Chains A and B, each alone.
Chain A
Amino acid sequence: MTALDLPVRTHPDERRQVASGNQEQRRRRRREYRLFALLVAPNLLVIAAFAYWPILYNAFLSLTDWNMIAARPTFVGLANYANILTDPAFHKTLWITLVFTGLIVAGSLVIGLALALLFNQPLKGRGVVRTISFAPHILSGAAVATIWLFIFDPGYGLLRALIEPFGAEPPDWMNNSDWALPGLVIVYLWKNVGFTALIYLAGLQGLPKDLDEAAAIDGAGTWTRFRRIKLPLLAPITFFLLITTVIGTFQAFDVIAVMTGGGPGDATTTLSWSIYNEGFQAFNAGRAATLSIIMFVILLIVTAVQARVMERRVHYK
């Protein structure tokens, strides 16, 4: 976290203190402390209550067997963890989450970089197209999912209209357990590659030009220069996008909720869906809390790895 290492600027008051008396100085300082506390308290209180406390609360609930109706939870020790970690259904959920995340991460990095390279060419209208490709990123996931439900509709969908003239027949995407997950991946990519492309483009434009030019003079071709110069220099950005996409995809919910509801069967039941399902449809607070802690630990490890790697090689500019 580089932000923490930034210097905290001293207040001009500090420099004027020499002149003023000791008591005056102490009073002034106390007033400053009070103002600080006043300004920071609301934010810190909300953060404590709705970001930190939930982790402890989850940890507690995960040791109980509570159906959210009984007056008080019964302590069951690590039984929830033992049950979940040995449950084949959970293994499948984890596998689906990993496949889903892997496809989205790979897809958004590759397509995003390709788009950024395209937008970096001196083409007329590239700025407009870049903006168009970025727009879905800020749109409601629930609304985007609804549009795509219609596009995938086997009866009247846009996709059928587009491929039928070529003699192909589209699958019933969201009701087919082989096609539902790939369908969700397409929607997430459509929604998010514009973001990846934007970050890559900013990275490409920040690259030092002299290296590339020197290599070109030495006769290196476009592909060689891309592979040997640009790609390595973009590595920190790739890593940043990799981590943020993993964290985001693990928590993906709205598109799944609207398009498949975890189905058909359990074909799109990811970890994030099963937390919701256990907690708010089956009312198993204990199991939902345990799944939450498992997700927290996985993402904590991902974040810790990021912090380690970033510390070692931060050279954005």
Chain B
Amino acid sequence: MSRWGTRPLQYVVLVGVAAIFLAPLYWLISTALKQPADIYQWPPAWWPHDLTWENFSLAWKAAPFDRFFLNSTIITLVGTAAKVANAVLTAYAFAYLRFPFKKVLFTLVLGAMMVPGHVTLLPNYLTVASLGWINTYAGLIVPGIGSAFATFLMRQHFLTLPSEVTDAAAVDGAGHLRTLWRVVLPMSQPMLITVVVITAVEEWNNFVWPLIVTNTADMRTLPVGLLILKDEEGLANWGTIMAGTLLVLAPMLLIFLVAQRYIVGGITQGALKG
């Protein structure tokens, strides 16, 4: 690797890149913590001189954010658990068990990846409506728990495990479920964490589906609640809106900081080896 521009210039660019990606987040956090009066001063105060939590209580008053938070948390936890369980069980079956037409069935599972989610909105809405699931957790969660990509990742991983270990478990008389729980899963921990984190991020951020299957305030999720807060506040109260936005972002930002390498690992693995 020789010169690609000079080194000092590269550092200037590197710092510039960091600034471009950090500035909006900094502006979000500082605005959420500013006194309403400070937000509308011009030129703006780059540093909030009088920190306040007032915007959060205003956001809480403008919309039932506690309820949104609860809904998002329930959907993320239950949805992720169900989807990952589906992925693990399906992947185990396809990796270790015999079944007629196994290849065809596996193609059917993976084929789901090629169905664009946006295309399924209307029919899935009608299906959920006909089941009486509008404004219910079932309607929010069930359509999303089918798993193709996560199944693919898990099965790929299972196939890399040494067969001696599962063979030994079978010789010792362990049934399949015990082998899966006691032998295969503990050996797959990094991949399991990756799949859990990627799924949880998706569930938390999901927007269009909760938007169309809920229409009462008590069943909204955080991202949808944010849209409603924004529309109701009419872009006049930026402090309130930024406080609400921070509530939506903060949990995922924290998970990202903790589990960053799993997310990055899973994504590059899916992209480069898929």
Contacts and interface: CB of A to CB of B under 8 A. Distances in A.
A267 B136 CA distance: 35
Contacts of B25: 135, 147
* B contact residues, range: 35 or more
Contact of A44 (B87, B109, B238, B244): B109
Given A121-B1, A161-B43, A49 B127 contact: yes
Interface string B78-107: 000000001101101111111110110111
B272 A199 contact: yes
B43 A164 contact: yes
Interface in A141-178: 141-144, 146-151, 153, 156, 158, 161, 164
A195 B152 CA distance: 21
A22 interface: no
Contact of A57 (B24, B126, B263): B126
A117 B260 CA distance: 21
B22 interface: yes
Interface in A257-279: 257-258, 272, 275-276, 279
Contacts of B55: none
Nearest to A212: B1
A316 B229 CA distance: 46
B94 A146 contact: no
Given A52-B115, A53-B127, A303-B114, A143 B245 contact: yes
Contacts of B152: 3
A199 B238 contact: no
Contact of A140 (B13, B43, B252): B252
Nearest to A56: B123
B195 interface: no
A124 to B, nearest CB: 8
B230 A146 contact: yes
Contacts of A44: 90, 105, 108-109
Contacts of A149: 230, 235
Contacts of A11: 96-98, 170
A153 B238 contact: yes
Contacts of A129: 14, 17-18, 21
Contacts of A317: 272
Interface residues of A, number: 107
Interface stretch (A76-84, A86-94, A291-299): A291-299
B140 to A, nearest CB: 13
B117 interface: yes
A140 B205 contact: yes
B268 A12 contact: no
A264 B160 CA distance: 52
Contacts of A7: 159
Contacts of A2: 274
A280 interface: yes
A50 B145 CA distance: 10
Given A143-B245, A258-B226, 8 more contacts: A32-B97, A43-B87, A50-B142, A115-B17, A121-B10, A122-B1, A151-B24, A206-B272
Interface of A: 1-4, 6-9, 11-14, 29, 32-33, 35-37, 39-40, 42-44, 46-47, 49-55, 57-58, 61, 115, 117-118, 120-123, 125-126, 128-129, 131-136, 138-144, 146-151, 153, 156, 158, 161, 164, 190, 194-195, 198-199, 202-203, 206, 216, 222, 237, 240, 244, 247, 250-251, 253-254, 257-258, 272, 275-276, 279-280, 285, 288-289, 292-293, 295-296, 299-300, 303, 316-317
Interface of B: 1-4, 7, 10-11, 13-14, 17-18, 20-25, 27-28, 31, 39-40, 42-44, 86-87, 89-90, 92-100, 102-103, 105-112, 114-127, 142-148, 151-152, 155-156, 159, 163, 166-167, 170-171, 176, 201, 204-205, 207-208, 211-212, 222-224, 226-227, 230, 235, 238, 241-242, 244-245, 248-249, 252-253, 256, 260, 263-264, 267-268, 271-274
23 contacts: A6-B159, A8-B94, A36-B99, A40-B93, A43-B109, A53-B123, A54-B123, A118-B14, A121-B4, A129-B18, A135-B25, A136-B21, A139-B205, A140-B205, A140-B252, A142-B248, A143-B223, A153-B238, A194-B21, A198-B268, A247-B116, A251-B117, A279-B125
